[in-house]
Structure 1
Amino acid sequence: MIGMWNRSLTARFVAVMLLALAVSQGISFLLFTDEMGGVLLRAAKAEFLSRSASVAQVIETTPPAVQHDILRASGTGYTRFWVSPTFPGDLESWRQEAKRKLAEPLPTLANLAGTEPLPRAEASPPALLPQPAGLAVASPVTASGAPYSTWLDLPAHAWPLSRAAKFVYWGDGGAMGLAVQLKDGSWLNSAFSKKMANSMWTARSLISLAVTAIVLSLCAAFIARTMTKPMRRLAAAAEALGRGESVAPLSERGPDDLRHTAVAFNLMQSRLQRFVEDRTRMLAAIGHDLRTPITSLRLRAEFVADDETREKMLDTLDELRAMTEATLAFSREQATEEVTRNVDLTALVGSLCDDLVELGHEIVCAEGPKISYRCRPDALKRAVRNLVENAVRYGERARVCLRTTPQAIEIVIEDDGPGIAPDFIERAFEPFFRMEHSRNRETGGIGLGLSISRNMVRHHGGDIILANTGQGLRATISLPYAEMPAADVSGTGRRARRSSLSIGAGRRAPAE
């Protein structure tokens, strides 16, 4: 549950909605429990008085011979009626009579027709009628706070008949009694007793609460999904932009908050692209403009009389020209937008090693399983090539393998060279920085190889890490996992593997 809370906005939204429902229902329960009890008691009292008035009117208009049957037939599960010749002044005696009447079973149709005798009541002291479930209320009290214990006159607005009636609360849980004088001078007695439970949580209320919770959860999940879908698109676009891919502008529709976010992202993307294009264009212009003065200086150097001085000047100009050409090549590669697609990374690295082996380099590439990866294959291939060529140039031979970790895909290149001093490992990635200080192009390059490689790998969201192994240098290209669409792997970078190579040192080694 904690994991879902941390990972899913939908789970948080649903949990908050359900918590709000629980809190609101709890507050409602605290506020309205007593009030609902009073409402139910008043409704029961109104129904009791109405039924008693109706029975009184029926008794007064029927012959005495059938009045007893009418009184018995008018009883309910929690109400009884009987007639007494005088007013029941002794309330305690009336209470006992009411209990006895309520304990008697209700008559059946056969009893009323006279075909079966009525069952006799038990001799044991009668108890109150078994109480149906409902809402319990406190025993009614007088204004002074004491329970009612005497007959009270009902006000005219509470009693529908013109004649006066006496009312009393005679027991716990809302037990009520009524005595009304009939036209012949006798008194109709009515007793009501219905035990009401002290809880709002009935089966119906629990079902209603469950249905409400389900509906709220569905609504919350729908709202959360609607909110997070644009956010997921934004996250995917940001990831692709960080990997150097060309991202289509996000849709600038929807609520203001999401629309403003999409507008800001699109504006940021256009500014970044414009910045990179301007920088690349400026670098290309500088490299191009340097060609003319370099050529002019070379022509003038040819006329220097001192041979040694002339050779040094020409070497310096050649080095400067090579640096300019490398800068122009770098700028052209930066300006070229390669399409990102899915490739077999194992095949791409393997074919590169095969090509270098055919050129006479001593390279061992370990076999490995197919690894599909979404990248710009030409750029990534150049980055790997630079590292492999450096390993062969400075470490005599190169060992290449691919491996996967929970966080990334790694391309590891190891050599048997002297390594790099720890203080110079990070500086090795600086443009035009060379570990070989003679500036001889036969023993060292221009100094852009590692810089270009790291730049290309970082455009894929990864990085290059150099480390000394004790027997040489290890260069690790770490590429983060990227979501790949369900498309077939591009053929670019997949060349047929050669079963055997002419150079023995270049034969594939089995994966460890």
Structure 2
Amino acid sequence: MMLLWRRSLAARFLMLVLLALALSQAITFLISWDERGQALHAAAKGEFVSRTSSLAILLDTTPPSLRPDILNVSGTAYTRFWTSHDGPSNPLAWQQEALTQLAKPLPGIAAKYAAYMNGQASNAVAAADPSVPPRMLDLSGSGSPFTRPAKFLYLDGAPNGMGLSVRLDDDSTWLNAAYAKVMPSAFWTAQSAISLALTALILSAIAIFGAQAIARPLRRLANAAELFGRGEAVPRLPESGPDDIRQTAEAFNRMQERLQRFVEDRTRMLAAISHDLRTPLTSLRLRAEFVQDRDLQEKMLKTIEEIQTMTEAALAFAREDAAVEETRTVDLSALVGSLCDDLEELGQNVTVSDGPKVLYRCRPDSLRRAIRNLVENAVRYGEQARVSLVRRTDSLDIVVEDAGPGIPQADMEQVFAPFFRLEQSRNRETGGVGLGLSIARAIARHHGGDIVLENRSNGLRAIIRLPLIDMAKQLAPAPVPETSPPTGLRSLPA
């Protein structure tokens, strides 16, 4: 449940709606429960008074000898009737008599109904508190259902207990009635459960629809941001829907356009500078030819050649950076293996570990160039390169290990700077131009990853760490062992 709450906007929205429903229903029940009890009590009181009034009229019209039988058959599961010669002058004594009558079983009831009928009024009857005398109310007079003297009181020792005493027409007899009934107090009924379940089902359907309507453009924005961060061409997001969603899509589209324009301007500027440097370099080369001192001339020509080589490398980098390569799914294991085969044919000392088929969405030409730069650096400075493909929890690592001296910890980040070389001889054969790691890191970051350098006890480990997108679809089930040195190597002779 907590996992859904943290990871799913639709589940969070649905849970909040259901929580609001539960709280609103609870508050509604609490508010209406007292009103319901009062309504039931008022209805019971009206029925009790009306029944007693009708019985008094009936007794007035019948002979006194029939009254006991009429009173016996008039009793119910929660009502008792009896007559007395004295009126209710003592409310406490009358209440005690009413509780006694309620506790008596009804006469003449069939055996299978006796337990039920006799228990309704008597089970909850308790003794009244003698220290608190009940208050007797006079119901006779105008606005009352009785035109004769009548006294009403609430019974202290019975649930919802009521008592009523009405004088008959002979002026010497009083009809007494007592009522006690346990009102239904179940807070949760089958009807309430069905009503709440139907309401929750309807609200859940509405909440899921609303949450999906909100989450869909957010997922589309997240996917577009992920693709854009990996250097892929992303079409403009649809700028529609509510203001918040529409403004978010508009902001993303503007950001994408600005970043693309910035990168294009930077690339064009770098290409223009590299191109324009050719003319003065050619002019310097011509002038150097007229220098008479051979040693000075040779030094000048070497410096000019070095500058020209760096310019050509920068121009090639700018041209490649400006080119838009299509992103597609390739077998990364096959890509790494074919690259190592090519380097083996060129006499490079390279070993590569066999691994499962790994499908990955990338720009294969640029990624191949990044891997090649790392492998060539490993061979140049570490005499050999061991390449492996390692599957991790959240990344896919292309590992290149060598047996060289490694890199000082202070220069771990500096080596990625353009034209920076640890080798200080300025010899292009041993030190290169200084753009290899810069280009490799730029390519890795365009894929949403990075390059990590780690010193080992006997060499350097360079890792191209690529993010995993939908690992279940992009990787084969069997992981590549993360051992060092990697197992299952096949040697490529130098």
Counterparts of 1:456 and 1:436, CA distance in 2: 24
Provide, for residues 103-153 of structure 1, a one-character-per-residue CA deviation record: whole Å limited to 9, x for no partner: 333766xx8xxxx9x99xxxxxx9872569xxx9xx99xxxx955243533
Matches within 5 A, 1:381-400: 381-400=368-387
Change (3 A) 1:94 1:399: closer
Q: Is the 1:280–1:334 contact (alpha carbons within 8 Å) kept by the matching residues of 2?
A: yes
Question: What RMSD over aligned residues (CA atoms) do the two structures have, in Å?
Answer: 3.8
SS of residue paired to 2:285: helix
Change (3 A) 1:32 1:279: same
Aligned match of 2:165: 179
Matches within 5 A, 1:91-490: 91=91, 92=93, 95-96=96-97, 99-100=100-101, 103-105=104-106, 129-130=121-122, 148-150=134-136, 152-154=138-140, 156-157=142-143, 159-172=144-157, 173-183=159-169, 185=171, 186-196=173-183, 200-202=187-189, 204-205=191-192, 208-209=195-196, 212=199, 216=203, 219-483=206-470
1:257 Cα deviation from its structure 2 partner: 1.9
Q: Is the 1:401–1:411 contact (alpha carbons within 8 Å) kept by the matching residues of 2?
A: yes
Counterparts of 1:147 and 1:328, CA distance in 2: 109
Change (3 A) 1:283 1:128: closer
Q: Is the 1:384–1:453 contact (alpha carbons within 8 Å) kept by the matching residues of 2?
A: yes
> Which range moved further: 260-269 or 467-476?
467-476
Aligned match of 2:49: 49
1:46 Cα deviation from its structure 2 partner: 1.9
Q: Is the 2:330–2:362 contact (alpha carbons within 8 Å) kept by the matching residues of 1?
A: yes
> Which range moved further: 177-186 or 292-301?
177-186
Change (3 A) 1:414 1:207: same
Counterparts of 2:493 and 2:300, CA distance in 1: 45
Aligned match of 2:480: none
SS of residue paired to 2:425: coil
Letter in 2 for 1:378: D
Counterparts of 1:87 and 1:451, CA distance in 2: 111
Counterparts of 2:466 and 2:342, CA distance in 1: 23
Provide, for residues 268-306 of structure 1, a one-character-per-residue CA deviation record: whole Å limited to 9, x for no partner: 111111111111111111112222222233233333333
> Which range moved further: 385-394 or 77-86?
77-86
* Identical residues among aligned pairs (%): 54
Q: Is the 2:79–2:121 contact (alpha carbons within 8 Å) kept by the matching residues of 1?
A: no
SS of residue paired to 2:44: helix
Q: Is the 1:78–1:102 contact (alpha carbons within 8 Å) kept by the matching residues of 2?
A: no
Q: Is the 2:271–2:315 contact (alpha carbons within 8 Å) kept by the matching residues of 1?
A: yes
Q: Is the 1:154–1:167 contact (alpha carbons within 8 Å) kept by the matching residues of 2?
A: no
How many equivalent residue pairs? 471
Q: Is the 2:274–2:312 contact (alpha carbons within 8 Å) kept by the matching residues of 1?
A: yes
Letter in 2 for 1:42: A
Provide, for residues 6-38 of structure 1, a one-character-per-residue CA deviation record: whole Å limited to 9, x for no partner: 334444444444554555556566666555544
Change (3 A) 1:478 1:128: closer
Q: Is the 1:103–1:127 contact (alpha carbons within 8 Å) kept by the matching residues of 2?
A: no
SS of residue paired to 2:431: coil
Letter in 2 for 1:77: A
1:235 Cα deviation from its structure 2 partner: 2.0
1:78 Cα deviation from its structure 2 partner: 1.3
Provide, for residues 185-222 of structure 1, a one-character-per-residue CA deviation record: whole Å limited to 9, x for no partner: 55443221112366644555455556555655555454
- TM, length-normalised to structure 2: 0.82
Counterparts of 1:50 and 1:247, CA distance in 2: 81
Q: Is the 2:358–2:475 contact (alpha carbons within 8 Å) kept by the matching residues of 1?
A: no
Letter in 1 for 2:344: V
Change (3 A) 1:207 1:343: same
Counterparts of 1:106 and 1:229, CA distance in 2: 73
Provide, for residues 361-399 of structure 1, a one-character-per-residue CA deviation record: whole Å limited to 9, x for no partner: 121111111112111111111100111111122222211
Letter in 2 for 1:238: A
SS of residue paired to 2:420: coil
Q: Is the 1:99–1:127 contact (alpha carbons within 8 Å) kept by the matching residues of 2?
A: no
Aligned match of 1:122: none
Q: Is the 1:175–1:192 contact (alpha carbons within 8 Å) kept by the matching residues of 2?
A: yes
Letter in 2 for 1:51: R
Where does the alignment leave 5 or more consecutive residues of structure 1 unmatched? 120-125, 490-503
Counterparts of 1:180 and 1:447, CA distance in 2: 115
Counterparts of 1:56 and 1:251, CA distance in 2: 82
Counterparts of 1:484 and 1:404, CA distance in 2: 10
Letter in 1 for 2:79: T
SS of residue paired to 1:262: helix
- TM, length-normalised to structure 1: 0.79
Change (3 A) 1:292 1:107: farther
Aligned match of 1:496: none
Counterparts of 2:382 and 2:56, CA distance in 1: 117
Provide, for residues 333-363 of structure 1, a one-character-per-residue CA deviation record: whole Å limited to 9, x for no partner: 1111112222111111011111111122121
Change (3 A) 1:407 1:61: same
Change (3 A) 1:67 1:274: farther
Counterparts of 1:79 and 1:53, CA distance in 2: 14
> Which range moved further: 340-349 or 169-178?
169-178
Aligned match of 1:77: 77
1:225 Cα deviation from its structure 2 partner: 3.9
> Which range moved further: 268-277 or 388-397?
388-397
Q: Is the 1:10–1:221 contact (alpha carbons within 8 Å) kept by the matching residues of 2?
A: yes
Aligned match of 1:495: none
Counterparts of 1:375 and 1:43, CA distance in 2: 78
Counterparts of 1:264 and 1:215, CA distance in 2: 35
Change (3 A) 1:379 1:232: same
Change (3 A) 1:202 1:381: same
